[in-house]
Structures are given as C-alpha cells and as structure tokens.
Structure 1
Amino acid sequence: MKRSLVLVAAAVLLAGCSGGGGGGTTSQQSSGGAPAKVTLEWWHLSTAEPLKSLWAQRAKEYMAKHPNVTIKATVLENEAYKAKLTTITQSGKAPDVFASWGGGVLKQQVDAGLVKDISADVADVLPTFTPAALSAYQLDGKTYGLPTDIGLVGFWYNKKLFEKAGISEPPATWSAFLDDVKKLKAAGVTPIALAGKEKWPGHYYWAYLALRIGGLDALKQAAVDHDFTKPDFVAAGQQVKALADLQPFQKGFLGAAYSTPDGQSATVSNGKAAMELMGQWAPSVQKDSGKGLGDDLGFFPFPAVEGGKGSIGDAFGGGGGLAVGADAPKEAVDFVKFMTEMGNHSKAVESGGVLPVLKGEESAVKDPNLKQVATLLAGATGYQLYLDQAYPPAVGQQVNDSVAELIAGTKTPEQVGAAITEVAKSEAG
C-alpha cells in the first residue's frame, strides 16, 4: 500500500525533480568505449522512514557500482502518486522504474503497452521469490514486475486504551468487535481512526466484510460477472453501516487524510483513537506521523463474521513492487533486480519497513507485530488483493467512492452494490 506515505512534495535523490517519464535518457557512447550515460526516472511512494532513507541508499549504491547511471527519484505520498502516475500513463508514457501494486491497474497499463515484459530478464531470479508475493505482477504467464513487499490488512490497536475500556483480548468475531467499539465509546475513548478524505482506507471494511461473508470465491466471481448486487455484498454493506451507525470514528474523520500530522495514522500514534484498519506499513507510518505507541501497539486480524462463508484464514491486502516502463533502458531492469537481491532486500525487512518476499527471509523480521502478520500470511488459506487494485481502475475508484458515501450515510448498502455494478459492466463493455 499500499501504501507508505507522508510528504506530498516530490523528493529527489540527486539534484532536480523528475520532469516526465519513460525512456530514460542516454548519451552517445564515447569513442573510448566507455558505457553510455543513462538517466533512470524512478517513481515510488515510500515517503516514511525507514524506507525513505533505505531506498535512497540503495540508489546511491547502485550508482556507485554503475558510474554511467544517474537515478532520479520522484517520491510522492499515496494519493499524489496515484494521481501523477495516472496523468503520465494517460499521456502514453510511464516512468523507467515505478512502484506498482499489480493486479487490474497493472494489467490496464500492460494492455496499453506501457509496461515492459521482463520475463526473460528475471527468469534467473524468479525462483527466489515466494509465489504469493509474485502473483500480483504475473499476468497471463508473463512477469511485469518484481515485488518489494507483501502483507495483509488488519487492526493495529492501542493496548492501554483497550485495557481502559475493559477489553482483555482482541475480538475474534465481528459481533464481539462491535461490542468492543461500544465499550471503548463508553470509556470515553474514540474507537477508530479513519482517513475519510482519502477513501481507500474505508474500502478495507467493505472488502473484508465481503470476503468474510461471501468468501474469496464471491470476490473472484464478481471480477467475472461484474455483479456486486448479490446478497453477500449487500450484507457486507449492512455491516459497514452497522459500524458507522455507532459513530466510532474520530471527530472530523470525513476530512482527514491518512499520513498527515492530524490524519488517521497520527491519531492512533498519538493515543487519540484506539485502532485503525491498515496494512503492514502501519507501524512505520505511525512513527513517522506521530509519537508512536512502542510496546503498547498490538495487532489482530480482521474478525470472522458469524455464519459467513469466508475462512478466517483468508487474507486481504497486498504489497508493493517495481515495474519497468516499456521504453526504459536495460539498466532499469538491472536496477529492479538489484533492489530485490537478498542482501539488499533483507536489510529493508530487518528495518521493519517491508515483509519478506524472498524465500528464506522470514528470520529477518524482528518486530513482534510484523512477525504476527508474516505468520498469518504464511498460513493464509486464500489471498485477495485490494479491490481498488484488483479490479480495473474505474471499478476500484467506484468501490472507494461508494463505500465512502456509505460510511458518510449518503448511500445505502443496496445503492453501493448497484453503483459498482454499473461501472463494472460499463468497463467490461
């Protein structure tokens, strides 16, 4: 995530900001046979520590080994990144190397001829990756990117605030979760922080409830028949409404961003809300945007829904990866392979910035909460990519928009399903 975040301004590893995308710039080879000079445009969204500095360090190391290569990085927070990437891809270009969540969005970029098929170039390293981490970047038997992170969405919570409300252990069922929300409110504690302005964090609730109620097959079937009006999807919306009706979110949540000093992450980090539903990057963003909870931070998976068809072992989430623009020079693929070598990638795992994507990296996870996430991931019975990435972009955006309206009380559960279905069928032609 999706999503690793903070500054809206672009940051650059060297001087100057990326002005455009695609193709790198290559000067003529010198008469002495020296390698031609190449400039790689690298776009990513790791604006929070530790990845912000780690990725910058990796680029410096690569340039030291390859003096003919200059790497220019454009680093944007989540929403700004998606907007800028959409703008440049709509113009028919792509950066040389860019962060991707894979899935339906990557497929649309591939179909538009914007992404390089790197299957042959990375064939030698593919066996080193875990299948789950690779899956979002492999389409129709071809590889269009390499993963840098994998994980799942769950609840990050403040142990002290749970104790204050008399909650001795995290809820294992949805009804127990709703009861705990009531207990927190009764104790004068804001139960949940939500970035209502950015919408994607809200879609996690509807998506997870659909996964728990309808099962993984329901979400996969909807990708085929484009029908989100079925009873299980309506039921998911009804449970989101049941939660929203409890008014569990912080004051002003509809205008709140995710990673700003007054956003969702900081609200939890500063002890002003008991929990947030977020991906594996949550601890690092909490530290970056607020005071941090230290040992008071805990994690629990999204609860089971009584009577639901979904398995409690089904995971919802995603990771991050690096894709290569169709017109990028060969050095772009080499840089992506460099970034995902065991010796380099395991340092990012040790720092707590990402979770293992390479076989044998598990021991590098030090943080106990992230170990729990890694263990759940290793034992997952099924895996569903974020809906705003799994489905075509217009469908994913409609999911985010409609669920935001449901949470705000301006759309009914039935209207949510109808709105998403309308866009999905339209996109399918």
Structure 2
Amino acid sequence: MTAHLSRRTLLGIAGAGAGAYLLSACGSDEPSTPDGPQTINWWHIQNTEPMLPVWAAIAKEYETAHPNVKVVIQPLENEAFKAKLTTATQAGSPPDLFQSWGGGVLKQQVDAGLVKDITADVQPWIGSLLPASVQPFTIDGKIYGVPFDVGMVGFWYNKDLFVKAGVTATPTTWAELLTTVSTIKGKGIVPMALAGKEKWPGHFYWAYLAMRIGGLGALQQAAKDNNFDTPDFIAAGQRLKELVDLQPFQKGFLGAEYGSPDGQAATMGNGGAALELMGQWAPSVQASSSTSKKGLGDKLGYFAFPAVDGGKGTVAEAFGGGNGFVVGKDAPASTTDFLKVLLDAANQRKSAATGAVLPTVKDAADAIKDPNSKVVAASLASATGFQLFLDQAYPPAVGQQVNDSVAELIAGSKTPEQIVKDITKVAKSQ
C-alpha cells in the first residue's frame, strides 16, 4: 500500500495487525535444531542506515555460533519488497524469514498456507515481549510472526504555540480538543497540520474516534461481519465532521503530502501548526523535513488521543503498528531459533539505540534515548488493548477504501452516513 511509503521508508516503522487475540499459554519444550547444513533466506526492508548494519552483524554472529547455518540476507526497499514478495507467494515459495506488518495481509498468507504456525516454538520466550505488540501477528489464537518494533499514534504539539494561545492543559476529552482548536485558531495560529493528499494520516482521526466511541470490540466486529454501517462508525464520522467544520488545518492541506518540504511534518517542524496526529516516528520526520533539520526539540510534547464522552473505549487503548518477521512454510528448523536471537534483550537494545526502533522486548526499553519516544513506549507498555492501523488491519481493498472514504469526509464531498456504506460495500465484496 503506497499510502505507507512515508512511514516505512523514512523510518522503517509501520503497520502491524488487528483485532487479533492474545496468545494462549500452552507450554512447550524448545525445538531441537538439526545439525545438517541449513540456509535461512531472510528478506527485510531496513535497507539503509541505521538498521542495515545492525541486522547484518547479528546474522554474522549467529553464523559464527552455528557453523551449520548460513543466513542469506536480501535487504529491499519497501515497494520493491512488496512486489518481490507478491511474486514469491503467488508462486508458493515464500522466503524463510520475511518482513511483515501482520493484519489483513498476514491473514491472507495464513489462509493460503504460506507461513508457519510458530506458537509452540516461541512459547518459552514470547512472554518477554509487550503483549500489545504480539497481537497483530496472532491469527485465530496462533502466532505466525514476532514483532521487533512497535509504536502508536497520538497528538504531537508545539508547547510554545500552546502557551502563545493561552492553552494551559492538554485536552483529555474530544469536547476539550474542539475547544482547544477553537482557542488556538482564535489567536491566529494554525491549529493542525494534515497531509490530505496522502489520505492515510486522515484515517487516524476516524479510526481513533471509532475506537473511543465503540471500543475495540466495534472494530473487531466490523471485520467479522464486513459491516461498518453501524451507529458507532457513523458517530465517529459525525465527531470528525465537528472538527473539520472548525477548519483547523493548514492552507492547502488537501494537496499536502506528509514528508515533503511543504508537507504535514515540515509544517509542524517549522512551527507552522500547533498539533498533528501521527505515529511515534513524528519527531524524526518533523526534524528531517524542517528548514533547520532540527525540528522542535524540547518544544515538542505528546498526549494520547482523548476520550469521547459516553464512549465505550478508553484512553488506555492504543492505535498503531510496528514491524515484525514471519516464517515461511518451508523454512529450516533453525529459523525460529534465529528469530529468538534477533529478539533477545541485548539485540533489541542495539536496535533501540539506533533511534529507528521502539523495542518490543520489555527489558530493552532502557535503551530508548529520546524523551518523547520514552513517553510513547510507556503508554504502549500500559495499554489495555491495541488496534492496528485500519488500512493494514483489514484486507487491502477494505483498508484502501477506509483511507479514500475518510479523505472524502474531510474534503466535504461525502457524509458520515455515506462513507460507512461505501466501506461496507467493499468489505462485503471481498
């Protein structure tokens, strides 16, 4: 899905899977690794600094410790990876270990018998990971992949502009957020930055509102029934329309990209807006897109997406995603052992130290350096539930329709009632 190109290629951070359930705790002995020669074909998209050399070094160390195993790495750019993987899976020959964001695509791979159920193999150590991070890779109670990175979406705000507007506290309810936006706009400051052209940033608002109004159960039920034409999803659109009617976004937002010099991240990084709703990669992209190449620094703050009065969801439920690896159906026995090594605390610390990864292993959180990243990690660690980006969680065609429909709502060309019918129509056709 090209909508996620900015997220993945800029930071190697992106979607994972949804509506999945936490693993069942069936104990198992660790599998034995045969002594014969084995080759692990490993495809990933960390094809640049800082993660490219980190993965290479870990693979080399594993080969040294296991002389019978060779790890052949194929680093690929995101879109090239997706094209190459599609060709391989259609031919029924997936690589042994490959990048995954879980969700709808992983479920299709599971249904096609292309990936291995690794539940028993990972049982001795999966408990060391954040439970929320494992959900996207759990399909029908079975684990098919392991995440090495996880994050969440929230509001990033410019502390100086809040002070300038006289806003003394971050909003904790949707009503308070609307008041905050009105107050900021009344002071002649642009309240929010949005990349309207790329669509995926807009879907964050509708998805979070649906979560806060209907709870995680509403999103899981919609996936099960292929039906979004329900009061909770309509209400999410109505609440979003309340925000859109305040005209909170920067001038020209409908044509704005995310990471371009005049896009959403740059608008924030250059102090041109007070708020953006974005994932854990936001500070880095704000900095790299800004004129100074430094972004807001300690002027940048973060708060969770607020509650909606009367809603079934809570602020402790997180929306986001991360990167992981799944094991191909014909992978050699050593593949899950190598996966265990990739995810041990020492290697997760190395990954976290680069700043490009928010580790999934709980004991590696001490390697996170950035203060805002620490806040995100702490929020995730205490999350009571987790929902993947909807354009990753659902089948690809449904995810694309969610993005398209929310963009139409924000542009004012479709109503809350119309978009849920459009999304449902595509969902039922799958």
TM value normalised by structure 2: 0.82
2:344 corresponding residue in structure 1:
341
Q: In the alignment, does 2:50 pair up with 1:53?
A: yes
Distance 2:138 2:365 in 1: 23
* Separation in structure 1 between the aligned mates of residue 150 and residue 366 of structure 2, nearest angstrom: 15
Deviation digits for residues 157-211 of structure 1, max 9, x if unmatched?
1111222222122111112212222222233322222222222211110011111
Residues 162 and 132 (structure 1 numbering): CA distance in 2 closer, same or farther, change over 3 Å? Answer: same
* Residues 148, 139 of structure 1: alpha-carbon distance in 2 compared, 3 angstrom cutoff: same
* 1:283 corresponds to 2:280: no
Partner of 1:72: 74
The aligned runs of 1:221-236 (5 Å cut-off) are 221-236=221-236
Rounded to whole Å, the distance in 1 between the matches of 2:240 and 2:395 is 23
Q: Higher relative CO (CA 8 A, sep ≥ 6), structure 1 or 2?
A: 2
Aligned to 1:243: 243
Query: Cα distance, 1:358 vs. partner?
Result: 1.5
User: SS at the partner of 2:50?
Assistant: helix
Q: What's the Cα RMSD here?
A: 2.9
Measured against aligned partners, the alpha-carbon deviations of 1:115-149 in whole angstroms (never above 9, x if no partner) come to 23333443443232232221221223432111112
Structure 2 match to 1:181 = 181
1:359 aligns with 2:356: no
Given residue 301 of structure 2, which amino acid in structure 1 is its aligned partner? G
Structure 2 CA distance, aligned partners of 1:3 and 1:321? 18
1:167 matched to 2:167? The reply is yes
Distance 1:118 1:34 in 2: 21
Q: How far, CA to CA, are the matches of 1:170 and 1:380 in structure 2?
A: 20
Shift of 1:154: 0.5
C-alpha separation in 2, matches of 1:6 and 1:263: 16
Q: 2:298 aligns with which of 281, 295, 309?
A: 295
Cα gap change, 1:310/1:248 in structure 2, threshold over 3 Å: closer, same or farther? same
Secondary structure of 2:348 counterpart:
helix
2:129–2:362 Cα contact (<8 Å) kept: yes
Does residue 213 in structure 1 map to residue 208 in structure 2? no
Distance 2:117 2:379 in 1: 32
User: 1:106 matched to which residue of 2?
Assistant: 106
Contact 1:2 1:318 in 2 (8 A): no
Alignment check: 8 A CA contact 1:151 1:373 kept: yes
Alpha-carbon deviations, 1:267-300, whole Å to 9, x = none?
A: 2122222221112222233333332211011100
CA contact under 8 A between 2:234 and 2:417: conserved in structure 1?
A: yes
Go from structure 1 to structure 2 and tell me whether the alpha carbon gap of 1:222 and 1:270 turns closer, same or farther (over 3 Å shift): same
Distance 1:193 1:81 in 2: 30
Q: Deviation string for 1:218-269 (max 9, x for gaps)?
A: 2222222222111221111012122222222223322333233333222212
**1-side partners of 2:377 and 2:204: how far apart?**
19
Structure 2: distance between partners of 1:151 and 1:419 = 29
Identify the residue that residue 117 of structure 2 maps to in structure 1.
Answer: 117
- TM-score where L is the length of structure 1: 0.82
Matched with 2:420 is 417
How many residue pairs are counted as aligned between the two chains? Answer: 396
Task: Tell me, in whole angstroms, the C-alpha distance in 2 between the residues paired with 1:180 and 1:83.
Answer: 44
Change (3 A) 1:305 1:149: same
**Which amino acid is the alignment partner of residue 249 of structure 1?**
F
- 2:389 is aligned to 386
Deviations 1:314-353 (A, max 9, x none): 2222222112333445565454333222101122334443
CA distance change for structure 1 residues 337 and 266 in 2, over 3 Å: closer, same or farther? farther
Matched to 1:187, the amino acid is K
Question: Cα–Cα, structure 1 residues 348 and 174, in superposed 2: closer, same or farther, change >3 Å?
Answer: same
Q: SS of the counterpart of 1:156?
A: strand
> Percent identical across equivalent pairs?
59
Q: C-alpha separation between the residues in 2 aligned to 1:334 and 1:138?
A: 19
